[in-house]
Structure 1
């Protein structure tokens, strides 16, 4: 929503005719662009000739030398006042107008801002100190926002108030959310408490800080009163990592108990409940103490018998290996090699599979690529012999910022998961990525376990984010193991026990009988063949809304999905193509019936709501009751879909919960998805065919159906009466047209 005072602030910025101050859009919305422009305006007013977006040391020192300890009503610089007033409005405070004065409203808002930051005690009164000015010209919030908590915000304010007078400490957000800036502020605070000077403290958990923690900050129940500030900082670190502890400076029995829980969660064994170095490290940096032992590893190098023995002797029990090589020019040969899995198992190790092609390129991630990866990973895992239920870890090997996770990574994994589900949910989906990506994918319900790339300590997706709750492997250091022929470089991983890897394999070689993607160079011939059949057999009157060409275009646009379904369920893709093509002709009665069914379900919703709170008369049912209909691309009933899925679940073809086709809520959910999600609808075609074969007693291998088998299965798609038999024969004819082209491509 536009704010008229922010618009005035933007107009003020645009009043500068200075080359280093860009014009901004006057839209009433605050942004970094606006804050950067205000920063440049301030630099210009200070006489700085090289303007930049950064409020750095030069801007800060010039501000201090020009105006002293604070800006107030005595400063008397109209445009500097306007910059302050504009910044206040952009921050959501009353600037007192943008009139170039430091009036009472302006002064009161500055005092309120400092209170929200937590620096009101350090900077009393209504003057604007240089560090507060710097914080004012950022997008950092100082009130609780989003999922922020008051518990975290209290600590942020405490840090700001206690340490803001130190030279290198700058005001951190006070919004109740842990972030990389807050983590850096916490490390600064630890450095100050262990005695580092302003010339040494840098906000990084380096060797000097680590030594200081080891010698001065080891805490437990017997901690002396003089350690109170260290206890405060330890409690802050615990809270920032999502653990509910008091912030009182006392190492109580309750704190010790919660620390034990954290140590157990992070696999800091044995658990002691004390704030020892390894616990501090795990709270402050993504790797934790990288020298701690790991029982898992991942590597790009083939594991020979000698290397397997070296790894086992070094205490490793599980190893991550790659399903495929990267899809790039001259890729490294890092995939599982022939006979390697047998060598690993013989050496006493288990394996967890990693799928990575080009996971380091942001452009790689999108829904279509996710769907493509699903089939590639599925077939690679099957080829190596990983059993059903194995977690496949799909790599996101770059530092995606939050917006990219939303726009790229989540759609990629949604496409991946939807396609894996369509192919039968044989394998479970995990992710290899920085902490923020792992947590957001888990929260979205798209992954079941995380392999955390914590070794990338500088990634924004690791800084300021706690260890994901679903972590299975935590990558903490690159090391070497063994010597001679057993020598190998690995990434050392800590294992949570969530995934113990696989140690039994049943490899499946390439199956040349399976269908492959359609050769689009043959599209014209296929289209002509289908159109000729439709016309020659007098079926062209069926196509009231769509032509045959439009229908074949729909089928070929979905070729990747249909090919994957055919390969996953070992059936001819022509079975799926034939009915999808025919049903997509969109009989004019179908949409009208769908409207009736939707009205029925809306009535059921209203009736259920009324039963929960029976006020007034119950909702009136529709005049015409239709509780199901054939819907979507391939015209499937909700009941038909549920029954087919239930059969395939019972037959271990797919993995999903059994549903009651007479439960209107379950039926509605399936019917809605059939109607609105083309991929789901066409995916269901394959399951209906499998169920139809069962109902008709067709027991032949699905890749070897006879003509009679095809007619029987296709007829059952339409029902059981004589019309269904005619449907089966017609669909068989269409099958044969598709199959003529599919057979050529598969060779």
Structure 2
């Protein structure tokens, strides 16, 4: 909402510092935001005589301000513009700054007093003087009153921390908005270190060996009354436990501690021992704990199973796929491994992860793809219906990443699982904030929390999700000799118990004709997926509706596609996906172009334009390149080598793809074989994928689908991601058919 005084502050910056701050013209929209705060910070640096201006109120700005103007008031403000910066900043923070007239007047004084009171530093910095650390807190977007339903109890903790420790060198004023955050969590660690007697420069806000050793000597329990109890109760409050912020360890606090210990699976004693301190202060808690669960990227052998049992581990997390096929080579569940797990009385919970290292890897489309791919892989390995699959978000997702990418991704997973009949449950693997928000959106039923990544912004300052099933705390190597194995140790809550018995794994059998019992469901699922991408089953601007494309490219030529699959050792789904996708994208402009090409050749004998043609939208140059390559390699026989420079050769093969659907589908397989070999002589410099296999990994499938469309640039890159989702739906029903 626009504020007139904020607009006047923006106008002041533009008028007084035009061309001086290293930034463009500031929008005069009356809306407070980081751009305005950054501009005010640069204006302050300019007034301080700092040569290199930046958006950051960093050590140079602070030290210069402390040296030149350790106290700012009506007598010490060096210039009218300096005062206007203070007045403008006050308005941007929601306080009265006077008339932005360059005067440190009574209205400014009253606002500085109120600001320090709200921060909780009014006793540390009495009076109306503006001191450097308060100035630093004035020039950011932190709030010092409760906002967005903030807790008054948490705000009390924040104000207490500010007031108690603001005089320490490395402690800066934190928000007092009633919400836990990364900055608040770090301030708690600083406070603990200061109370342990660490000097400035030694205290660093990190839960290191010195801090841990010190805390082991400061347990708190019923009857204690001191600063350590206050810090401990602060930790309880910040972890959203229902207790007061207090300096006395009451019976009510002891009861709340017992509840917390039971929740995080610590020994329940109602005392503030080291393990409880650790669980309150850092996401991974006490890393010396043993857990009943683990996860890892190494095959479980009988010897390793014995090691894990000796460690007290029952539940083992293993990956459904290895998306690249590369190192670590045993990341995917290996042949016979689940039988070994079951034979040793252990249980397995499956994890699905493709790349997942960046927000760009997450979207609704990618989620639909991941959901169906995980279903296929779970069935291949022998997981039974009812199993919960944990889908990974293995990066430090910020709030905007969660809202814009992760939540739509899990909605896509949920839709894919629902379309499959909800045979499997959905779990979320990731930082605390990711897991909590996915669960709150209704997209998951349990969380596998990557708490070992304690520095993640989504872990630091967030409580353990209420639905946590596994809590990943440390990497550890256990066992010796053949039983040695590196694992991530997980605490188990009991909300998920994995699976202890498994169906017989499905082997990589050759494809067969589609079983008649699956075709209706297959057509329905393909239609739903395409609708999710914005392609209606009927109507729209495309030439062919869903039913016609499916009938033509999947059902009518099922025998041809099956033979091609068996001959070339490639999955039918690769051929079906490409052919369906291309036919679904034919539009009237394509058909008009085809008519023009045919008419021109019939009239002049010239092939005037190499437009894509037929149900699989193939160009003459591509067809000639692929077929010539196939003839040379022995993939195909019975056709002459064609000359890409001859109009007649180009037109004839183009026209055959236009007239003959079986030829067009055969050409899809031939083009895929060319693409797999690196498309020598073609328009793609990508390396060869390797010999065709029935068990291509995700990366290889993606590359085959992408190369059909074109070189590794847009739109081929993005379109191939959409084709991946279609591929896994096609593969689902082919898999059912070959395993009947």
TM-score by length of 1: 0.68
Cα distance change of structure 1 residues 204 and 556 upon mapping to structure 2, 3 Å threshold: farther
Q: 2 CA distance for matches of 1:163 and 1:408?
A: 38
Shift of 1:258: 0.9
Among 239, 254, 257, the alignment partner of 1:256 is 254
Among 358, 363, 366, the alignment partner of 1:361 is 358
CA deviation vs aligned residue, 1:602-637 (integer Å, no higher than 9, x gap): xxxxxxxxxxxxxxxxxxxxxxxxxxxxxxxxxxxx
Q: Which aligned pairs between 1:103-122 and structure 2 lie closer than 5 A? A: 103-122=105-124
Match of 1:125 in 2: 127
**Secondary structure of the corresponding residue to residue 480 of structure 1:** strand
Establish whether residue 454 from structure 1 lines up as the match of residue 439 from structure 2. no
Cα distance change of structure 1 residues 81 and 546 upon mapping to structure 2, 3 Å threshold: closer
**Secondary structure of the corresponding residue to residue 377 of structure 2:** helix
Q: 1 CA distance for matches of 2:94 and 2:5?
A: 10
Shift of 1:555: 6.8
Establish whether residue 286 from structure 1 lines up as the match of residue 280 from structure 2. no
CA deviation vs aligned residue, 1:511-560 (integer Å, no higher than 9, x gap): 745869xxxxxxxxxxxxxxxxxxxxxxxxxx997688253499779x99
**Secondary structure of the corresponding residue to residue 549 of structure 1:** coil
Establish whether residue 186 from structure 1 lines up as the match of residue 180 from structure 2. no
Among 163, 168, 171, the alignment partner of 2:170 is 168
Q: 2 CA distance for matches of 1:369 and 1:21?
A: 38
Among 22, 25, 39, the alignment partner of 1:37 is 39
Whether the aligned pair in 2 keeps the contact of 1:21 and 1:41 (CA below 8 Å) is: no
Q: 2 CA distance for matches of 1:79 and 1:470?
A: 54
Structure 2: any 5+ residue segments left out of the alignment? 516-536, 555-575, 585-729
Match of 2:602 in 1: none
**Secondary structure of the corresponding residue to residue 493 of structure 1:** strand
Count matched residues: 537
Q: Which aligned pairs between 1:536-547 and structure 2 lie closer than 5 A? A: none
Match of 1:728 in 2: none
Q: 1 CA distance for matches of 2:165 and 2:394?
A: 36
Establish whether residue 277 from structure 1 lines up as the match of residue 271 from structure 2. no
Q: Which aligned pairs between 1:407-422 and structure 2 lie closer than 5 A? A: 407-422=404-419
Among 375, 378, 384, the alignment partner of 2:375 is 378
Whether the aligned pair in 1 keeps the contact of 2:431 and 2:451 (CA below 8 Å) is: yes
CA deviation vs aligned residue, 1:572-601 (integer Å, no higher than 9, x gap): x99xx9xxx9xxxxxxxxxxxxxxxxxxxx
Q: 1 CA distance for matches of 2:383 and 2:400?
A: 35
Q: 2 CA distance for matches of 1:272 and 1:434?
A: 28
**Secondary structure of the corresponding residue to residue 209 of structure 1:** helix
Q: 2 CA distance for matches of 1:436 and 1:176?
A: 17
Q: 1 CA distance for matches of 2:35 and 2:360?
A: 25
Shift of 1:4: 2.0
Match of 2:433 in 1: 436
Whether the aligned pair in 2 keeps the contact of 1:328 and 1:358 (CA below 8 Å) is: no
Shift of 1:19: 5.0
Match of 2:147 in 1: 145
Match of 2:4 in 1: 4
Q: 2 CA distance for matches of 1:220 and 1:550?
A: 74
Match of 1:238 in 2: 236
Q: Which aligned pairs between 1:678-689 and structure 2 lie closer than 5 A? A: none
Q: 1 CA distance for matches of 2:183 and 2:367?
A: 33
Q: 1 CA distance for matches of 2:368 and 2:496?
A: 24
Q: 1 CA distance for matches of 2:113 and 2:365?
A: 52
Q: 1 CA distance for matches of 2:73 and 2:544?
A: 70
Q: Between 177-186 and 2-11, report the one with greater CA deviation.
A: 2-11
Among 68, 71, 82, the alignment partner of 1:69 is 71
CA deviation vs aligned residue, 1:71-126 (integer Å, no higher than 9, x gap): 44542421111111111111111211222111221221111111111111221222
Among 300, 307, 313, the alignment partner of 1:310 is 307
Shift of 1:413: 0.5
Q: 2 CA distance for matches of 1:141 and 1:44?
A: 25
Match of 1:14 in 2: 14
Match of 1:48 in 2: 50
Shift of 1:318: 1.0
Match of 2:211 in 1: 209
Q: 2 CA distance for matches of 1:487 and 1:514?
A: 46
Whether the aligned pair in 2 keeps the contact of 1:434 and 1:461 (CA below 8 Å) is: yes
CA deviation vs aligned residue, 1:196-255 (integer Å, no higher than 9, x gap): 22232112221111111111x2011142x4xx1111110000000010112221111111
Q: 2 CA distance for matches of 1:555 and 1:146?
A: 51
Whether the aligned pair in 1 keeps the contact of 2:284 and 2:473 (CA below 8 Å) is: yes
Q: 2 CA distance for matches of 1:282 and 1:545?
A: 57
Q: 2 CA distance for matches of 1:273 and 1:53?
A: 47
Q: 2 CA distance for matches of 1:469 and 1:25?
A: 43
Establish whether residue 466 from structure 1 lines up as the match of residue 468 from structure 2. no
Among 549, 558, 569, the alignment partner of 2:543 is 549
Q: 1 CA distance for matches of 2:292 and 2:379?
A: 26
Q: 2 CA distance for matches of 1:328 and 1:66?
A: 61
Whether the aligned pair in 1 keeps the contact of 2:73 and 2:128 (CA below 8 Å) is: no
Q: 1 CA distance for matches of 2:514 and 2:175?
A: 56
Cα distance change of structure 1 residues 442 and 289 upon mapping to structure 2, 3 Å threshold: same
Shift of 1:35: 1.2
Match of 1:221 in 2: 222
CA deviation vs aligned residue, 1:459-483 (integer Å, no higher than 9, x gap): 1111001111111101111111111
Shift of 1:141: 0.7
Establish whether residue 24 from structure 1 lines up as the match of residue 57 from structure 2. no
Whether the aligned pair in 2 keeps the contact of 1:383 and 1:508 (CA below 8 Å) is: yes
Cα distance change of structure 1 residues 306 and 22 upon mapping to structure 2, 3 Å threshold: same
Shift of 1:44: 0.9
Q: 1 CA distance for matches of 2:306 and 2:73?
A: 69
CA RMSD of aligned residues (A): 2.7
Larger RCO (CA within 8 A; separation ≥ 6): 2
Whether the aligned pair in 2 keeps the contact of 1:42 and 1:80 (CA below 8 Å) is: yes
Cα distance change of structure 1 residues 332 and 42 upon mapping to structure 2, 3 Å threshold: farther
Whether the aligned pair in 2 keeps the contact of 1:72 and 1:128 (CA below 8 Å) is: no
Q: Between 277-286 and 108-117, report the one with greater CA deviation.
A: 108-117
CA deviation vs aligned residue, 1:350-409 (integer Å, no higher than 9, x gap): 000000011113211000000011110011111111111111000000001011100010
Match of 1:299 in 2: 296
Match of 2:61 in 1: 59
Among 196, 201, 207, the alignment partner of 2:198 is 196
Match of 2:488 in 1: 491
Whether the aligned pair in 2 keeps the contact of 1:245 and 1:258 (CA below 8 Å) is: yes
Shift of 1:21: 4.2
Shift of 1:58: 1.5
Whether the aligned pair in 2 keeps the contact of 1:475 and 1:493 (CA below 8 Å) is: yes
